[in-house]
């Protein structure tokens, strides 16, 4: 196991070491101490390793992640797991704005709440939030899934494309072209699989959720819908 203390090791040195790992590395367990809210910790990893960060992190932690499993024992700043391609990122606390922005693959699990624009421009990843999400979450989300066990703020799914949104709590309001859709057995099975990925299998009833998706009215410009653009 590699232990890195950011109180004494420069962040650039840590990220450089992570970037230099070969695909077949046997140095697969990393612990990072004293992150002290620094930005861009563990960004750009492309190796099948496990990284545990003991404390709060700043902006863009675990951004562009590929293959790695990153766990943050604390809260995370703006852009957690931004543009993630694969792997898994977990934060035990809360996440600030734009968590999972543009993420194309992998799984992001937020143990607390997520702020505004969670999953903005989502492109294929799965995001599971155990608390609430802020306003304009899943704005322009194109593919993937957003699961919210708590409540959702205003303008959920504004300008949504083909991502699927599942919310157990209240929704303050829906954004342009986002509507509630039927929750079939197939959708419940899909949601159960997502909850299992988050480690919540059996603890949460998929039947308690509502599903939201695109009404598909904004795919092509129509003058009748001009007020919705």
Give the pLDDT of residue 125: 98
Evaluate whether residue 91 is within a structural domain: no
Number of domains in the chain: 1
Report the CATH number that the domain containing residue 136 is assigned in CATH.
2.160.20.60
Evaluate whether residue 45 is within a structural domain: no
pLDDT digits (tens, 9 = 90+) for 68-106: 999 999 999 999 999 999 999 999 999 999 999 999 999
Evaluate whether residue 59 is within a structural domain: no
Give the pLDDT of residue 228: 63
pLDDT digits (tens, 9 = 90+) for 13-24: 999 999 999 989
Phi, psi of 52 (to 5 degrees): -115, 125
For 193, the domain range is 113-229
pLDDT digits (tens, 9 = 90+) for 119-132: 999 999 999 999 99
Evaluate whether residue 196 is within a structural domain: yes
Evaluate whether residue 117 is within a structural domain: yes
pTM assigned to the model: 0.95
Evaluate whether residue 138 is within a structural domain: yes
Evaluate whether residue 73 is within a structural domain: no
């Amino acid at each position: 196991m590699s232990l890195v203390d950011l109180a004494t090791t420069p962040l650039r040195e840590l990220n450089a070491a992570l970037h230099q790992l070969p695909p077949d590395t046997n140095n697969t367990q990393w612990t990072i101490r004293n992150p002290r809210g620094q930005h861009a910790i563990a960004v750009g990893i492309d190796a099948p390793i496990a990284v545990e960060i003991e404390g709060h992190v700043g902006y863009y932690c675990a951004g562009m992640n590929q293959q790695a499993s990153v766990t943050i024992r604390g809260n995370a700043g703006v852009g957690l797991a931004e543009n993630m391609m694969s792997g898994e990122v977990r934060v035990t606390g809360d996440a600030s704005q734009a968590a999972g922005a543009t993420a194309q693959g992998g799984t992001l699990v937020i143990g607390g709440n997520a702020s505004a624009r969670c999953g903005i421009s989502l492109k294929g990843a799965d995001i599971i939030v155990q608390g609430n999400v802020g306003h304009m979450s899943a704005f322009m989300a194109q593919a993937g899934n957003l699961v919210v066990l708590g409540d959702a703020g205003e303008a959920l799914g504004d300008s949504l494309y083909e991502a699927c949104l599942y919310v157990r709590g209240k929704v303050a309001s829906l954004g342009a072209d986002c509507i509630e859709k039927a929750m079939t057995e197939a959708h419940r099975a899909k949601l159960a699989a997502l909850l299992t990925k988050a480690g919540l299998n059996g603890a949460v009833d998929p039947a308690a959720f509502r599903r939201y998706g695109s009404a598909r009215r904004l795919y092509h410009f129509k003058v009748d819908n001009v007020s919705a653009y």
